[in-house]
Amino acid sequence: MDMARSSEGAAQSWPSGTTVLLVDDEKQVTRGLCALLHGLDLVVLQAHSGDEALSILRRCKVDVVVSDECMPGMRGSEFLSIVSREFPDTGRVLLTGHATVESAVRSINEAKVCRFLQKPCRPEEFRAAIGEAHRMALHARMTARLLDFARLEGLDLSAKESTSKSASPGNRPDLARTGGFDPGLLATLSAREHDVFDLIVDGLRISQIAEALFISRHTVRNHLKSIFEKLDMHSQTEILARSRGRRGNTLP
């Protein structure tokens, strides 16, 4: 496995540290795809088989996977089908040099890919596909969180019981990622404030949080003000710094 990080200050539509995994059995292809992403603030990982890629996914958080279709042992659509089941909030892009209706239908129905690209593709098209896959994955992640909150709010508990029990890891989604905070203080956040808080921990900016939650930037700022007061924090950077040590997003 190879790992590289591009660092030039180019315009981007994703938060700093977004991780992309490129999968192709030919190393020169993954190197070429890395070159297309040069200058963007992305963490870029490379794998050269479906099995190797799955091993990486099971060890660290990946935001978007880009896979070739024609690989020995495990086809790209088969690999992405596994990704869709095990890592549903990871965006999926399929690349192929031999596009057919059958392969397109299979990738959409089974692998639930966000984008289907034919090689060779233009650099701007490739980058746009990654951005779109990341946005779709983010929306899927937020939908899952909202469903979690809805299930919690549906519990037949009194307000005090709900507040005390929601402070335990078993009753609060994603609490393992925020272990640096007092559970009692986290329990004072509303469901929407928890949404905003989780996205802060994910490293998103105000404009990106607004897009993910379908609310205005002004509304996000109001939620941030309330979060800062309840958690005795003063900035998004301070929240990130406290939570960063609890996130296992990088390889050893």
Q: For residue 119, give the nearest of 45, 57, 30, 51 by alpha carbon.
A: 30
Q: pLDDT confidence of 38, banded at 50, 70, 90?
A: confident
Q: Does pTM surpass 0.75?
A: no
Over residues 3-29, mean pLDDT:
68
How far is it, in rounded angstroms, from Cα 213 to Cα 11? Answer: 22
Q: For residue 67, give the nearest of 85, 83, 88, 86 by alpha carbon.
A: 83
Over residues 64-80, mean pLDDT:
88
In a 3-state reduction of DSSP, which class is residue 18? strand
Phi then psi for residue 139, to 5 deg, are: -65, -40
Q: Which domains does the chain have, with CATH numbers?
A: 2-136 (3.40.50.2300), 155-244 (1.10.10.10)
How far is it, in rounded angstroms, from Cα 96 to Cα 40? Answer: 24
Q: pLDDT confidence of 107, banded at 50, 70, 90?
A: low
Q: Tokens 């078993």 appear where?
A: 170
Res 9 pLDDT > 60: no
Q: Among 14-18, 93-97, 124-128, 133-137, which is the least confidently predicted range?
A: 14-18
167-181: per-residue pLDDT in tens? 444 444 444 444 567
